[in-house]
Amino acid sequence: AQSVTQLGSHVSVSEGALVLLRCNYSSSVPPYLFWYVQYPNQGLQLLLKYTSAATLVKGINGFEAEFKKSETSFHLTKPSAHMSDAAEYFCAVSRWAQGAQKLVFGQGTRLTINP
């Protein structure tokens, strides 16, 4: 069964510093992987998704993620943090079962940006 583990429930970085949010997955088949962002009191917004094309995936707001099959990882990075990046981030893996694609989410990582 597919599952996702996000390492670190809280990450704090300084404005302008590198952002690195870690995600490891388990999947018996080549996965589709997603990163979502949730701003306070809002729904989930797609940052980027991996669908077995390029292993380096670029998303919105300057984020990118690299799929590493050997490490079963899909870490999210951004070279320079901005105050507006403060939010909760979710990694998810999709699985096809019983006629539908379903997302399985990690527990989330809350990102805090220090001025």
Residue 9 is a binding residue for another protein (CB under 8 A): yes
Residue 106 is a binding residue for another protein (CB under 8 A): yes
CA distance 7 to 27: 17
CA distance 41 to 1: 31
Q: Residue 19: left (phi > 0), alpha (psi -120 to 50), or beta?
A: beta
Based on CB atoms, which residue is closest to another protein, 4 or 13? 4
Residue 17 is a binding residue for another protein (CB under 8 A): no
Residue indicated by tokens 């490891």: 24
Among the listed residues 50, 85, 90, 113, the single contact to another protein using CB under 8 A: 90
Closest contact distance (angstroms) between CB of 80 and another protein is 27
- Find the distance separating the first CA and the last CA of the chain, reported in whole Å: 41
- Which residues make up the interface to another protein (CB under 8 A)? 4, 9, 32, 34, 36, 41-46, 49, 51, 90, 94, 98-108
